């Protein structure tokens, strides 16, 4: 009788130990390692501490922060071929500009610690509204209906563009746990591409699963294509814009002298 009971207990223990292993395997997502190729190189204002980058109707739009250069926190419409500002608006000195996104003919711009989101008319760059929020402002994009915002953690917040209220929160993870430092964001075909601060890395996020499904390292891009920037005081990669018509990405960084048109392979 004791042997029978012992056998049942052993069988129960083995069956219980098997279940977590099966669940662990089910949660593992193969993270694809993306390669990239540089298609074109364009000039970039090397005094711009890039915090947000957008492509719209043939022009780049850039939001910058920092206080090292006078008027460096700004929102600008930029000629891609020259790197020059066509239109711009400077933020007051008390504001550190952060991520931007363009939705419904409006441009939204976050601030770092001032808890303000400014709203501009996309054509004139005239400020038409502002919202407040809690915490820090980092990157921002949109899915055509909602604004998607980050604050430097592994959280992405979906917000109503009419009142900036949070409608949904996603906790972004990979196979090792939370992916923190999510910075400049770009929505592309149902996925969000995000710079990961303070690395020269871009991750591709599946919004349906909150998982990182691919990543690309751009550690070598300045060494190969803009070595003069290595000698200057430049900061990390930060800026992703996508041309949905031309199917091309534009990337740059803080104080970089170049904007790179790249293709992920």
What does the block give as tokens for 43?
């000039």
pLDDT confidence of residue 11: 40
Over the stretch 211-262, which tens digit does the pLDDT of each residue have?
A: 999 999 999 999 999 999 999 889 999 999 999 999 999 999 999 999 999 9
Is the model's pLDDT at 146 over the cut of 60? yes
More confident residue, 67 or 220: 220
Is the model's pLDDT at 70 over the cut of 70? no
Which CATH number describes the domain made up of 31-264?
2.130.10.10
Closest CA to 143 of 95, 112, 104: 104
Average confidence (pLDDT) over 60-74? 85
Is the model's pLDDT at 16 over the cut of 50? no
Residue 252 CB neighbours (<10 A): 25
User: Domain coordinates of the chain in residue numbers?
Assistant: 31-264
Q: Helices (DSSP H) in 135-261: which residue ranges?
A: 221-225, 228-231
- Average pLDDT over the chain reads 91
Residue 78 CB neighbours (<10 A): 23
Q: Indicate the pairing of strand 211-217 with strand 32-33.
A: parallel
Contact criterion met (CB below 8 Å) for 250 and 53:
yes
**N-terminal to C-terminal alpha carbon distance within the chain:** 64
- Please state which of the ranges 65-79, 147-161, 201-215, 240-254 shows the lowest mean pLDDT: 65-79
Instruction: Give the DSSP per-residue string, 38-55.
Output: EEEEEE--TT--EEEEEE
């Amino acid at each position: 009788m004791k042997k029978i009971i012992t056998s049942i207990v052993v069988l129960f223990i083995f069956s219980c130990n098997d279940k977590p292993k099966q669940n662990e395997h089910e949660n593992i997502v193969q993270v694809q390692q993306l390669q990239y190729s540089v298609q074109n190189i364009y000039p970039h204002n090397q005094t711009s501490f890039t915090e947000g980058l957008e492509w719209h109707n043939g022009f780049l739009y850039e939001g910058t922060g920092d206080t090292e250069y006078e008027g460096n926190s700004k929102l600008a419409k930029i000629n891609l071929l020259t790197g020059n500002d066509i239109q711009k608006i400077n933020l007051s000195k008390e504001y550190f500009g952060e991520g931007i996104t363009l939705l419904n003919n409006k441009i939204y711009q976050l601030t770092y610690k001032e808890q303000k989101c400014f709203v501009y008319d996309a054509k004139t760059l005239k400020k038409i509204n502002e919202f407040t929020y809690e915490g820090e402002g980092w990157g921002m994009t949109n899915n055509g209906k909602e604004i998607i915002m980050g604050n430097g953690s592994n959280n992405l917040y979906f917000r109503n563009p009419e009142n900036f209220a949070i409608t949904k929160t996603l906790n972004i993870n990979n196979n090792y746990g939370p992916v923190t430092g999510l910075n400049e964001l770009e929505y592309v075909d149902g996925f969000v591409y995000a710079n990961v601060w303070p690395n020269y890395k871009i991750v591709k996020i599946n919004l349906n699963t909150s998982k990182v499904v691919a990543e690309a390292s751009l550690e070598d891009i300045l060494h190969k294509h803009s070595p003069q920037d290595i000698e200057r005081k430049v900061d990390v990669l930060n800026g992703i814009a996508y041309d949905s018509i031309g199917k091309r990405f534009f990337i740059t960084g803080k104080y970089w002298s170049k904007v790179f048109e790249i293709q992920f392979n």
